[in-house]
């Protein structure tokens, strides 16, 4: 059975994953008296319910972009800083194991798509309807994992001091070290004032957020579009030849 000393050693070993640390923490005899911490560990391992507000350390700041079929993903231009702050900050309900799997892709940014119901509320009247996503830097996911790792260590330290803290106080909420990315050029979408945003944006910013996935670049999508188009052309030509041969029409 795992002991606090063993867990503390593993926490300081960067090769031991955070999900492994959480599973080992569940085995500690001390956990029998800490139902609050056990509940927190279960949520980190299995993901937070979609209807439940996620901890503050799971909020991530990114860049909102809209899909332009000719130029790929382009940044959205905000007319109001409060609107930008609201929409570009989202929480995530995904489990720690899922985040670790995402980081294996070694992508620099990760995409959190907005539901179309939210897009309709975000875009100003008259703007073309298109896909929109929040692009999160890799460091945002790393920061969440590091916060959970540090929180486990903080809790172990309270055992040595002979007292316990609540799950809320034992889970340290760190400020994100992610630097706000510079605004890119070529913005073509605009967002109105905050008064135009009414109600929940679907996967809202403080509660359980959208699904994170590795970013697929414009040229990657363009490549597959070209391949599909070529296959369609080839299939059309082959079908035309077959039809002509069946009708005995000279080509």
Return the DSSP state at 187. -
Helices (H), the chain: 4-11, 18-26, 35-46, 81-87, 96-103, 116-122, 138-161, 167-170, 218-246
Ranges of residues in the chain whose predicted pLDDT is under 50 = 162-209
pLDDT of residue 124: 67
Strand partners, 66: 74, 132
pLDDT of residue 163: 39
- The fraction of the chain above a pLDDT of 90, given in percent, is 30
Rounding to the nearest 10 degrees, give the CA dihedral for residues 26, 28, 31, 36: -40
Quick one: which of 28, 236, 65 has its CA closest to 152? 28
Structure tokens at 73: 């993903």
pLDDT of residue 142: 95
Quick one: which of 25, 30, 55 has its CA closest to 42? 25
pLDDT of residue 210: 53
Could you tell me whether strands 189-191 and 213-214 are parallel, antiparallel, or unpaired per DSSP bridges? unpaired
pLDDT of residue 143: 95
pLDDT of residue 242: 76
pLDDT of residue 125: 64
Is the Cβ–Cβ distance between 74 and 64 less than 8 Å? no
Residues 6+ apart with CB under 8 A from 95: 19, 44, 45, 46, 47
pLDDT of residue 202: 36
Backbone φ and ψ for 34, nearest 5 degrees, come out as: -120, 70
pLDDT of residue 222: 56
């Amino acid at each position: 059975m795992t002991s606090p000393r063993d867990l503390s050693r593993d926490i300081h070993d960067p090769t031991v994953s955070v999900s492994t640390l959480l599973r080992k923490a569940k085995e500690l005899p001390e956990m029998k008296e800490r139902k609050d911490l056990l509940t927190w560990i279960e949520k980190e391992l299995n993901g937070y319910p979609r209807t439940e507000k996620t901890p503050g350390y799971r909020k991530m700041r990114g860049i909102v972009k809209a899909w332009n079929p000719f130029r790929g993903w382009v940044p959205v231009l905000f007319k109001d800083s409060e609107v930008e702050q609201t929409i570009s900050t989202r929480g995530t309900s995904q489990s720690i194991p899922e985040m670790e799997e995402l980081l294996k892709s070694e992508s620099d940014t990760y995409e959190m798509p907005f539901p179309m119901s939210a897009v309709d509320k975000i875009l100003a009247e008259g703007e073309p309807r298109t896909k929109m996503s929040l692009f999160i830097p890799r460091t945002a996911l790393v920061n969440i994992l590091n916060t959970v790792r540090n929180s486990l260590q903080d809790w172990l330290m309270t055992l040595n001091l002979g007292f316990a803290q609540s799950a809320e106080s034992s889970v340290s909420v760190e400020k994100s070290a992610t630097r706000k990315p510079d605004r890119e050029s070529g913005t073509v979408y605009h967002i109105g004032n905050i008064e135009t945003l009414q109600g929940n944006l679907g996967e809202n910013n403080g509660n359980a957020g959208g699904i994170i996935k590795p970013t697929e670049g414009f040229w990657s999508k363009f490549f597959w579009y070209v391949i599909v188009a070529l296959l369609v052309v080839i299939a059309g030509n082959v079908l035309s030849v077959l039809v002509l041969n069946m009708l005995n029409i000279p080509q």
